[in-house]
A and B are shown apart, each in its own frame.
Chain A
């Protein structure tokens, strides 16, 4: 029997589907069942108890409240920056643009470590202020307060909002504002009546994304917030790992899953309607150099803010990693290589680097296989008919890593799937998080290849396999490489699921950093800094490589050179 084209692509698609079924749906269903049945007590009772207990209600309220506050602050700060990026051409813009990808790719644990290094009680700013003004106590005391992780949330989301809003803003027809001006509107009225309403979809979309990220914030809150604060995510972790109250963790997970699905659904609806895309770089035809002093002031203010926000924490991290009691030292890095801190680890800390890289490579290969299969299927069919399948593939993105990790420890620890003690469980979780990104990277490229190309090759005598190898693959080679690095970096920085799944003797780098940060003493803190620097280096350099591949120098530079400032 001859296999038809459709059969082949369905066969390919069954691979990611089965993977999703086993490693996504099964744990999720188990969480739902778990929160309703075991432990003797009635599940519905537990849920209602959860809603009636002030502690849990407080956690829910706090989760919503801090996410909303983070969103508002981020939007207010990012809007002027977006204006500057959408409208002006200035020296160093490319550098800033590259710098702005850093927070987005930085693992949460590293971010948390960086802010501890900068603004913590023993942080650089405090020690500098204490020595300069001869103070006995650290003047900035925000450790274990809301302020601390709110700042980290702003750091995380500022560049994302700026990117989304700026590219949308630059794509707005400048003629609209001109038209409003010619109809008698002052610049401010034109902004209020024309620009702002037109920006709303982008603002809404960005705000919702920030809200989702802050709502599911785990690492930053856990490390910077201290024991006094808990979002739902953090509480799930505490209930499961520290208190072993698995049913309660399950009930919380259920709530988290519900919230996440609703929020992601809202976001999908909104971005579909407004065609706002994080991945699109709209051609900016309206960009001009700054002219008057008011514009220069706005520009300078924003650039200083960006540099402060983006560079200071990272610089603090680097400095802290090589500064001991008596000035410059490499002892933290050396300590990572020795087994001295074995009270925390069953192995030398440096092994975690080896673990992380091993896990990341495995996850990368798995994610590529699954992602390419899924993308091939999605590209082979009519776009409208694959919408549903596309959405299903994206489901893991709508589920927080903590819920996934929790789901894994309650499902994969017993037959038929006892993976708890195998090394496979971490890469599998990472694959699940990474492979939707692979699909997103590869699918646009695949869809762009005209069917005529493949048909022509086939009529010239190429077998389907050779068509793929000689036509399709070369055309999406770059996208595949980008996807691979993406998957690798996601796995390297993943913390939420890993916090549940790594065994004491096989920590990953983020988990190792977390353990160091949780222990008192300069040596532990220093090693956390050193390890964070290594992780930052790995992720940033991989994203730098992505940047080289995915954004070739196509930045539209207007031909009019002389008026460049």
Chain B
């Protein structure tokens, strides 16, 4: 439900660098965010994503570069005057205040009159589905309820920007999945611009309009979830997203064909022309071919002799039933060392058992070329 009224840049991060404990952490991070968008900062722990969030919040101050919000450099504004909201990993709910008093805190700081405050609190409680919980003490709430109170508290003062620091980190898997959807619905309903920090890619895909992948303080890729998954920019991003089928090779720019160098060229048991693969327009110093695991199925008999289909042969070296699919490991006995590739195959027809030969049909759309550096 993206609102067309917005679509103007609200946050502009310009070449942010900083050090942590004497060592450089963030390195020339730059991106911008449109009003009403939800951005996920995604990266492993230690990648600098929480630091970046705290810099934007004004909780950390030593950095170079500029943070422009709504056309203004916000560096001189102390954090309590920025009008940003923040939701913390452990929620940081005030233990000496009940649910209503927690939500009311930010409104009191704005000196909002009592009657207006009460209206806003009721609205927030309803929004997060906690109507009637107002007088509960914090230690009487479950993990999911606390999370909702924290969300309501940070949303109540209608922040210009909401920062969420791994807000689902301490909850169990199923609850997290449910709350991810809820948070997105609520944020979109209010049209809040938000930055959401997480290390969990599923969470990021579920909640974000844009994803920024941070690794070792470097912004590796900034894209929509769909684009990110479809076209990971480099090996680091691909690995972080969980892709393992990465083949080094050489791109023939004349034909647009990709030649694997993992094994003897041509000895790779891929039948049929590999390319042209997407993105031949990009120049990669060290090209890598990614085969996405869901882009394969068992080859039907009648397809075997069609020259244009892309085929892969090998031995099933491992086979794992995953409920909705099979994960198989394909071993190609070529060259000096065996090559292992992983694929998710549909339940029907079931793949052959471990040790049996297998022939796979590969979708052309499952192939992506990326930078191996």
The reply to whether A182 and B85 form a contact with Cβ atoms under 8 Å apart is: yes
The reply to whether B157 and A181 form a contact with Cβ atoms under 8 Å apart is: no
In the complex, whether A197 has a CB less than 8 A from a CB of chain B is yes
The reply to whether A175 and B92 form a contact with Cβ atoms under 8 Å apart is: yes
B85 partner, pick from A183, A561, A562, beta carbons under 8 A: A183
Chain A neighbourhood of B163, CB < 8 A = 182
In the complex, whether B301 has a CB less than 8 A from a CB of chain A is no
A190 to B21, CA, bound (A): 27
In the complex, whether B153 has a CB less than 8 A from a CB of chain A is yes
In the complex, whether B193 has a CB less than 8 A from a CB of chain A is no
In the complex, whether A125 has a CB less than 8 A from a CB of chain B is no
Q: Which residue of B lies closest to A176 (CB)?
A: B92
The 0/1 profile, CB within 8 Å of A marked 1, for residues 354-368 of chain B is 000000000000000
Known contacts A197-B96, A563-B22; is A178 also within 8 Å of B80 by CB?
A: no
Chain B neighbourhood of A182, CB < 8 A = 57, 59, 79-80, 84-86, 154, 163
A193 to B102, CA, bound (A): 11
Chain A neighbourhood of B93, CB < 8 A = 179
Chain B neighbourhood of A560, CB < 8 A = 20-22
In the complex, whether B231 has a CB less than 8 A from a CB of chain A is no
In the complex, whether B94 has a CB less than 8 A from a CB of chain A is yes
Known contacts A198-B95, A561-B21, A563-B22; is A180 also within 8 Å of B59 by CB?
A: no
Which candidate, B104-112, B127-135, B175-183, B254-262, is the interface stretch facing chain A? Answer: B104-112
Q: Which residue of B lies closest to A184 (CB)?
A: B109
Q: Which residue of A lies closest to B20 (CB)?
A: A560
Closest Cβ of chain A to B6, distance in Å, is 23
In the complex, whether B282 has a CB less than 8 A from a CB of chain A is no
A142 to B92, CA, bound (A): 50
Q: Which residue of A lies closest to B61 (CB)?
A: A291
A175 to B85, CA, bound (A): 13
The reply to whether A178 and B92 form a contact with Cβ atoms under 8 Å apart is: yes
Size of the A side of the interface (Cβ < 8 Å), in residues, is: 24
Closest Cβ of chain B to A554, distance in Å, is 22
In the complex, whether A185 has a CB less than 8 A from a CB of chain B is yes
Chain B neighbourhood of A197, CB < 8 A = 96
A561 to B23, CA, bound (A): 11
Known contacts A173-B90, A175-B90, A562-B21; is A185 also within 8 Å of B96 by CB?
A: no
The reply to whether A184 and B59 form a contact with Cβ atoms under 8 Å apart is: no
Closest Cβ of chain A to B370, distance in Å, is 35
B106 partner, pick from A176, A184, A561, beta carbons under 8 A: A184
The 0/1 profile, CB within 8 Å of A marked 1, for residues 46-90 of chain B is 000000000001010000000000000000001111011110101
Known contacts A198-B96, A562-B22; is A180 also within 8 Å of B105 by CB?
A: yes
A185 partner, pick from B20, B22, B80, B83, beta carbons under 8 A: B80
The 0/1 profile, CB within 8 Å of B marked 1, for residues 179-204 of chain A is 11111111101100110011000000
The 0/1 profile, CB within 8 Å of A marked 1, for residues 89-124 of chain B is 010111110000000011001100000000000000
A560 to B157, CA, bound (A): 36
Chain A neighbourhood of B95, CB < 8 A = 176, 198
B92 partner, pick from A173, A184, A189, beta carbons under 8 A: A173
A187 to B81, CA, bound (A): 11
A185 to B110, CA, bound (A): 9
Q: Which residue of B lies closest to A180 (CB)?
A: B105
A178 to B86, CA, bound (A): 9
A184 to B20, CA, bound (A): 27
Known contacts A175-B88, A178-B59; is A184 also within 8 Å of B96 by CB?
A: no
Closest Cβ of chain B to A275, distance in Å, is 12
Closest Cβ of chain A to B346, distance in Å, is 46
- Measuring CB to CB, which residues of chain A are less than 8 angstroms from any residue of chain B? 173, 175-176, 178-187, 189-190, 193-194, 197-198, 559-563
Contacts beyond the supplied A176-B94, A184-B83, A560-B21: 8 A-B pairs with Cβ under 8 Å: A179-B94, A182-B79, A182-B84, A182-B154, A184-B109, A186-B78, A198-B96, A560-B20
| Residue contacts A-B, CB under 8 angstroms, 19 given | A178-B59, A178-B86, A179-B88, A179-B92, A180-B94, A182-B59, A183-B85, A183-B153, A184-B106, A184-B157, A185-B80, A186-B80, A559-B21, A560-B21, A560-B22, A561-B21, A561-B22, A563-B21, A563-B22
